[in-house]
Amino acid sequence: MHAYPTASVPRGLRWSVATAAFQIEGSRAADGRGRSIWDDVVDTPGVIKDAAIADPSADSYRRASDDVALLRGLGVDRYRFGISWVRVQPGGTGPGNAAGLDYYSRLVDALLEVGVTPFPTLYHWDLPSDLEEAGGWLARDTASRFADYAALVADRLGDRVHDWYTINEPAMTTLQGYGIGSLAPLKQLLFGALPTVHHQLLAHALVAQALHADGGHRVGIVNNHTPVRPLRDTAEDAMAAVAYDVLHNRVFADPLLSGAYPDLEAFGLPPMPVQDGDLELISAPQDFYGVNFYNPTTVTAAEGDSPLPFDIVPTPDAPCTGFGPEWAIVPEALTELLVGMRDRYGEKLPPVIISENGASFPEPADAARVEDGDRIAYLAGHISAVADAVAAGVDVEEYTVWSLLDNFEWLDGYTQRFGLVHVDFATGERTPKASYDWYRALVSESRA
C-alpha cells in the first residue's frame, strides 16, 4: 500500500475533469468530419513525435460510453469536453452536419443519465482548415464564423447544456500557434501574431452575447495564466518579466476584466485592430473565468539579437514534471496567481473556475497499474493552493483535472501522459491509475 498525500479541500468546490476533442476522439474520417488545422499538422511529415496521427488516439468517438462509465465511477460533478468544429460544420461555414451534432447530443444525454453535468468547450485549437486558408485568427471574419458555428451547437444542445466554455487558451494560439509556430497553424509571425488576440476575444464576446440573449446560459473563456518572475534582481530582468506578463496574461485578461488593452506601445508593440464598440462587447460582465494553471514562468532579459525582449528559463530550485525544465512544480504559484488576479481586477473578476491543472510524468506504457504518486502529489499540492486562495477571499467555484485520459499531446504525440486513466493506444483499453482512485476518494470525502 502507498500512503498518498491528502489535500486541504475548500468547502463547496465543484469537481471536474477535462479532455479536448482532437486529443481523444480519433475517427478523423468518420461521419462527414471536415479538416482542421490539426489534421494539417499531423499530416505534415516530421513535425509530431513518433509520427503520431491522433487516430485512433483514445478512440473516444467510438468509446464515449466507456468514458461516461469512468466519469460516473469518479463521481465528478461535471465533465469538460471539447466539441469539434469540423464535425459540426465540416468546412467552417454553412449548415450543420447532423452526424457530428448527433454524437455530442448522445454524449450529453449519456452524461446527464449518470448525473454528470456536461460542460463543453466550443473551441480547443482545431480551426477548420478552410478558415485558416482565409486568414485564420488573423482575420476578423473568423470571429463571426465562430459565432455561427456556436449557434449551431447551441440550437442542438442548448436545451440540456447551460454552461459553456468558448475558447481554450487563446494565449497559446497567439504565442505558440501564430507567434513561434509550436502549435497549429505553425506560423512564426512573432508580434505579427497580435491581431489573433483581439479576434479570439471578439469571437468569445459574440458567442457570450448571443447565448445571453437566448437566456439561461453562463459563458466564459478559458485562458492559461502564469505568474511571471524575473530570474535576477536587475532592472533588465524586471522589464523582461513585465513584457512577458503583458503578452501572456494581461493582453487577454485586461480587456475582458478591465475594458482596455495594456499600453502596447510602451513595449514598441503594434496596436490592436480594435473597432468601435469592440471593447464594450469584450468587457461585458463575464459569468465565470476559466483559469488553466500548470507552472509559473521565469524570464530573463534576452541576450544577443533575439527578436523577443525575454528568454524563458527554468525556474530555479523547483522540481519539474516529465515535460522538462520549463514545467516547474510550484503549487503556491497558483495561490499567487489567483490572489494577484483578484487584486488587479477586483469586482470585475467573476467567479474563477480552475479549468485545467495536471501533469505528465514518465510512466511505464505497459504497467498493469500505474502508481502515479508524483501526479497525486502535484494535484494535492495544487488543490491545497486553491484552498489557500479561497481562504484569502478569491471566489473559486470549481477545480478540474487535466486530464481524464491519456491522450494525444499535440506535437509531443503520445509521449506525455496526463491521464488519471491509462490508455493503451493500440487497443483503446482504459485502466484507472492510482490517481483516479485518489481523486475519487477526495471528491467523495469533500461531500461527507
Active site residues: 356
Q: CA-CA distance, 256 to 434, in Å (whole number)?
A: 39
Q: Kindly state the smallest distance separating residue 342's Cβ from ligand GBH, in Å.
A: 22
339 and 394 in contact (C-beta within 8 Å)? Answer: yes
89 and 128 in contact (C-beta within 8 Å)? Answer: yes
**Cell numbers of 394, please?**
478569491
Q: Kindly state the smallest distance separating residue 277's Cβ from ligand GBH, in Å.
A: 30
Residue 10 or 419 having the CB closest to ligand GBH: 419
Residue 374 or 409 having the CB closest to ligand GBH: 409
| DSSP SS3 for 90 | coil
Q: Can you say whether residue 3 is alpha, beta or left, with left for phi > 0 and alpha for psi between -120 and 50 degrees?
A: beta
Rounded to 10 degrees, what is the CA torsion of 200, 291, 185, 145? -30
Residue 191 or 323 having the CB closest to ligand GBH: 323
Buried-exposed string 27-47: b where 16+ CB fall within 10 A, e elsewhere: bbeeeebbbbbbbbbbeeeeb
Instruction: Work out the number of other CB atoms within 10 angstroms of the CB of residue 119.
Output: 25
Q: How far is CA 363 from CA 60, 366, 372, 447, in A?
A: 22, 9, 8, 31
Q: Kindly state the smallest distance separating residue 185's Cβ from ligand GBH, in Å.
A: 16
Q: Kindly state the smallest distance separating residue 337's Cβ from ligand GBH, in Å.
A: 13
Residue 119 or 156 having the CB closest to ligand GBH: 119
Q: Kindly state the smallest distance separating residue 326's Cβ from ligand GBH, in Å.
A: 4
Residues with Cβ within 8 Å of residue 268, at least 6 apart in sequence: none
Residues present in the chain in total: 448
Q: CA-CA distance, 93 to 148, in Å (whole number)?
A: 8
Q: Kindly state the smallest distance separating residue 318's Cβ from ligand GBH, in Å.
A: 11
Strands (E), 33-154: 78-82, 117-123
Residue 15 or 414 having the CB closest to ligand GBH: 414
**Amino acid, single-letter form, for residue 131:** L
Strand-by-strand arrangement of the 228-230 sheet? 228-230, 297-301, 310-313
Q: Kindly state the smallest distance separating residue 262's Cβ from ligand GBH, in Å.
A: 19
Instruction: Work out the number of other CB atoms within 10 angstroms of the CB of residue 213.
Output: 8
List residues binding ligand GBH (CB under 6 A).
20, 168-169, 172, 224, 292, 294-295, 297, 312, 326-327, 356, 402, 409, 418
Residue 135 or 322 having the CB closest to ligand GBH: 322
Residue 297 or 384 having the CB closest to ligand GBH: 297
Q: Kindly state the smallest distance separating residue 265's Cβ from ligand GBH, in Å.
A: 25
Q: CA-CA distance, 334 to 355, in Å (whole number)?
A: 13
Q: Which residue is nearest to ligand GBH (CB)?
A: 326
Residue 142 or 224 having the CB closest to ligand GBH: 224
Q: Taking Cα atoms as reference points, which of 93, 17, 15 lies closest to residue 60?
A: 17
Instruction: Work out the number of other CB atoms within 10 angstroms of the CB of residue 415.
Output: 16
Instruction: Work out the number of other CB atoms within 10 angstroms of the CB of residue 404.
Output: 31
